[in-house]
Amino acid sequence: MNEQRSGKSEVSTQNAPTPIAPFSQAVRAGDLVSISGQGPQDPATGAYLHQGDLAAQTRRTLDNIRAIAEAAGGGFDDIVSLRVFLTEREHFAGMNEAYGEYVREFCPSGVFPTRTTIFVTLPHEDMLVEIDALMVLEAR
């Protein structure tokens, strides 16, 4: 983590895609960690998963968020809120099914994050889903 005078520190990991614009993968301020929107990119290659496989895109996106959460010193179970951005209303059921399987697997506490789902146009033609997160960690 790269600490700044403002009390904020940048969080980054090679286990999630490198941002293509001037923003951080995540920023920690005190016990809060804000994780930037992640998409279905392979962190090793930067390639997007095939457009038609919504379940795989959802899982890859959540894997990227989990990698950043771990780099910040937490885990998926520390995430308190997620915002899901979908390109089509028809994708909601498929995303919701893949999402449900994921949170059941990676939230052993059984307390799932809050979630909002928004329908938008995403910046890459192969992206069907993007998700950002807010995580709370114990103060160091």
Does the 2-136 domain belong in CATH 3.30.110.60?
Answer: no
Indicate the pTM of the whole model: 0.92
CA of 28: how far to CAs of 41, 98, 124, in Å? 23, 28, 27
Domain ranges of the chain: 2-136
Average pLDDT, the chain: 92
**Each residue of 64-73: pLDDT tens digit?**
999 999 999 9
At 111 the pLDDT is 95
Q: Is the pLDDT of residue 80 over 80?
A: yes
* Phi and psi at residue 116, to the nearest 5°: -125, 140
Q: What does the pLDDT average to over 80-91?
A: 96
CA of 128: how far to CAs of 41, 87, 120, in Å? 11, 5, 10
At 125 the pLDDT is 84
Residue 27, judged by CB atoms within 10 A of its CB (0-12, 13-18, 19+), counts as buried
Whether the Cβ atoms of residue 84 and residue 99 lie closer than 8 Å to each other: yes
How many other C-beta atoms are found inside a 10 Å radius of the C-beta of residue 6?
8
